[in-house]
Structure 1
Amino acid sequence: MTAYAVGHLQPAPQLHDEIFDYMERIQSTLDPFGGRFLVHGATVELREGEWPGALVIIGFAGMEQARGWYESEAYQELLPLRTRHMAGDVILVDGVAPGYDASATAARLRAAQAEAS
């Protein structure tokens, strides 16, 4: 099942040279784990709530690869170049299986709730 690294990065008042270094080098940390950018710095069209900052989504074949990348020596060595100058939240999350049906999930949750009552 596909997994994703999702980053919600706060805007920096000015991009430091280390941010540029980070951006120039991150792909080399992703390559051994098959990671690829799906969203990177695109304009967010806000429809609900608040969203200050930028969205980054990186896709992996699975959670094992996503964890492997984030925990890798190469990425951990690179990470401070961004975190020293740009705050943000980063999560790793599994995607849904092919053919996922939200209505089936709702039915399972509804049944579980009825059993618990």
Structure 2
Amino acid sequence: MAAYAVAHMRQVTMGPQIVECLQRIDATLEPFGGRFLVHGGDMDVAENEWPGHLIVIEFPDRGNAWGWYDSSAYREILALRTDNSHADVIIADGVQHPHKATDVLE
């Protein structure tokens, strides 16, 4: 089942380190089958507040998501992001299809 690395980027200080992170991150995703589904962009806030940006990266499964996050290639650039931003980051499983909302009750 697909898994997702999701980041709520609450604050980002754009500068040379963030630019370098953006230039290098795609190469870290490739060996793990990762691809961006959402990477910032315009959002309409339907309820409450949403300060910042949303990033969603899809992986074939949780093992590949954690493999990427723990990889030496990503670890080499991680501080470029963390030293220049404030974010909440999670890795979450997707759902098996077909899926209904009531499936979580089982």
Q: Which runs of 5+ in 1 are unaligned?
A: 109-117
CA shift for structure 1 position 76 = 0.8
Query: TM (normalized to structure 2)?
Result: 0.94
Q: Which residue of 2 aligns with 1:8?
A: 8
Inter-partner Cα distance in structure 1 for 2:103 and 2:30? 36
**Counterpart secondary structure, 2:23:** helix
Query: TM (normalized to structure 1)?
Result: 0.86
Which string of whole-angstrom CA distances, capped at 9 and with x for unpartnered residues, describes residues 66-103 of structure 1? 00000001101110001111110110000000101113
Q: Which runs of 5+ in 2 are unaligned?
A: none
Structure of greater Rg: 1
Q: Which residue of 2 aligns with 1:23?
A: 22
Whichever residue aligns with residue 14 of structure 2, its letter is L
- Greater share of strand: 2
Inter-partner Cα distance in structure 1 for 2:103 and 2:68? 33
**Counterpart secondary structure, 1:79:** helix
**Counterpart secondary structure, 1:11:** strand
Whichever residue aligns with residue 58 of structure 1, its letter is I
Q: Provide the alpha-carbon RMSD of the alignment.
A: 1.1
Moved segments of 4+, more than 3 Å = none
Identity of aligned residues (%): 45
